[in-house]
């Protein structure tokens, strides 16, 4: 072991001495000779090292360029997300302004506060209280529909339960007022926890998928006509006398922003026509289409009746015309008119012999011919 260490030190010493000698020679020899020697060394002994250094430089440049590209993409993604967030916020604010313009009065705009002091995850804190007229059981809404109800309130803060709370319940009906029931949280697991149920719907009322469900206004808390959700499908339950439907909420808790708290006098007046939805627009379009079809049907019936009347009048005219031609009527003044006329000459065919035999069928049908006045 000691010999190997000693041999290694000798080799290192020899290499050091050789490097020192080569350095001295490189400083002493002339420039052109030094350049030729260095070129020869680079192309022979140091060629692998030079190639390795070139590849290392290329890899370093590639890694640096890739890192710059990734950093640029990250910055662009962050900017795009911020722009999308600003766009969504502006859209929400526009819809809230439109909702406030339709409500006109009797409401206050509230911002969300941290809910550290609450006992559940389904309660929201608002920065409004009794100082602006907020009272318990005041409805909390957004531009998309119903959010919840104020449960407790103090001077400057109020706490409201959302529709996801197990305590939430609201009387509801379909937008076309053909089905009524009670909306409560679904209380499922996973993503189904954030759905609603329309319960106690009469069995004879069949609600199609995609039907809008709004508040029915029963109970005195929520006014009639606030969007709650959209029907997804029917749920199979043990109740054979009623139906239960699964709803997609109109407002998602994660998308809550500025909210509106309706004051009791405004809620008592109702919100008819405040929330305009695609469903109502579709129903209006269907009503217009139905009215157009009825008008077209009535127009077609009127045209058919006019054609039949025209045909009937044409038949009556032709019958009268045939009667007048076949059976001429002799007026009272015809004799006086004939006496005033000059005598007419005999027609060329009067010299023809009269036919013998039975009279033709036409004479039997129309009667005997009128007397010949030429005789």
Predicted pLDDT of residue 174 = 92
Please compute the mean of the pLDDT values over residues 364-369 and round it to a whole number. 48
Predicted pLDDT of residue 272 = 83
Q: Checking DSSP bridges between strand 227-235 and strand 242-249, what pairing results, if any?
A: antiparallel
Predicted pLDDT of residue 335 = 40
The most distant pair of C-alpha atoms in the chain lies apart, rounded to whole Å, by 176
Predicted pLDDT of residue 324 = 45
Residues 367, 359: contact at Cβ < 8 Å? no
CA–CA gap between residue 264 and residue 283 (Å, rounded): 31
Whether the CA torsion 324, 325, 329, 330 is positive or negative: it is positive
| Percent of the chain scoring above 70 in pLDDT | 71
CA–CA gap between residue 173 and residue 179 (Å, rounded): 5
Question: Does the pLDDT at position 225 exceed 50?
Answer: yes
Q: Can you give the pTM of this predicted structure?
A: 0.54
Give start and end residues of each alpha helix (H) in 175-245. none
Confidence of residue 49 (pLDDT cuts 50, 70, 90): confident
Q: Where are the beta strands (DSSP E) in 34-138?
A: 107-110, 112-113, 123-126
Confidence of residue 136 (pLDDT cuts 50, 70, 90): very high
Exposed, middle or buried, 34 (CB in 10 Å: 0-12/13-18/19+)?
Answer: middle
Question: Does the pLDDT at position 5 exceed 60?
Answer: no
Confidence of residue 262 (pLDDT cuts 50, 70, 90): very high
Predicted pLDDT of residue 22 = 77
Structure tokens at 66: 């890739």
More confident residue, 255 or 179: 179
Structure tokens at 296: 């077209």
Structure tokens at 26: 């490189």
Structure tokens at 323: 């009667």
Please compute the mean of the pLDDT values over residues 213-226 and round it to a whole number. 90
Lowest average pLDDT, out of 106-120, 154-168, 224-238, goes to 106-120
Instruction: Find all residues with CB under 8 Å of 79, minimum gap 6, and list them.
Output: none
pLDDT digits (tens, 9 = 90+) for 64-100: 888 888 888 888 888 777 777 777 778 878 888 888 8
Predicted pLDDT of residue 300 = 65
Query: What average pLDDT does the structure give for the chain?
Result: 76
pLDDT digits (tens, 9 = 90+) for 272-308: 888 865 445 444 444 545 555 556 666 667 776 776 6
């Amino acid at each position: 072991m000691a010999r190997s260490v000693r041999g290694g030190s000798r080799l290192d010493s020899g290499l050091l001495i050789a490097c020192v000698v080569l350095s001295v020679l490189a400083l002493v020899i002339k420039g052109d000779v030094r350049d030729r020697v260095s070129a020869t060394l680079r192309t022979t002994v140091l060629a692998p090292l030079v190639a390795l250094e070139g590849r290392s430089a290329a890899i370093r440049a590639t890694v640096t360029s890739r890192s710059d590209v990734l950093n640029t993409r990250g910055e662009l993604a962050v900017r795009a997300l911020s722009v999308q967030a600003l766009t969504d916020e502006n859209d929400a604010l526009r819809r809230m302004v439109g909702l406030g313009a339709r409500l006109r009065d009797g409401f206050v705009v509230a911002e969300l506060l941290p809910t550290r002091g609450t006992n559940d995850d389904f309660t929201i804190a608002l920065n409004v209280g009794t100082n602006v007229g907020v009272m318990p059981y005041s409805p909390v809404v957004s531009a998309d529909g119903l959010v919840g109800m104020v449960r407790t309130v103090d001077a400057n803060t109020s706490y409201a339960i959302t529709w996801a709370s197990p305590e939430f319940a609201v009387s509801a009906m379909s937008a076309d007022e053909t089905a009524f029931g009670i909306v409560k949280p679904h209380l499922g697991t996973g993503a189904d926890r954030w759905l609603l149920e329309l319960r106690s719907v009469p069995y004879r009322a069949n609600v199609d998928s995609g039907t809008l469900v709004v508040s029915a206004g029963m109970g005195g808390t929520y006014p009639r006509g606030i969007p709650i959700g959209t029907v997804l499908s029917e749920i199979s339950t043990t109740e054979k006398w009623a139906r239960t439907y699964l709803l997609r909420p109109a407002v998602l808790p994660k998308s809550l922003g500025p909210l509106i708290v309706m004051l009791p006098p405004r809620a008592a007046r109702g919100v008819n026509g405040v929330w305009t939805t695609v469903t109502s627009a579709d129903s209006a379009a269907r009503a217009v289409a139905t009215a157009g079809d009825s008008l077209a049907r009535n127009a077609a019936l009127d045209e058919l009746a006019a054609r039949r009347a025209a045909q009937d009048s044409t038949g009556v005219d032709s019958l009268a015309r045939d009667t007048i031609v076949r059976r001429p009527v002799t007026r009272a003044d015809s004799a006086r008119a004939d006496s005033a006329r000059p005598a007419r000459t005999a027609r060329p065919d009067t010299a023809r012999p009269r036919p013998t035999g039975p009279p033709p069928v036409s004479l039997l049908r129309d009667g005997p011919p009128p007397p010949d006045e030429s005789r």
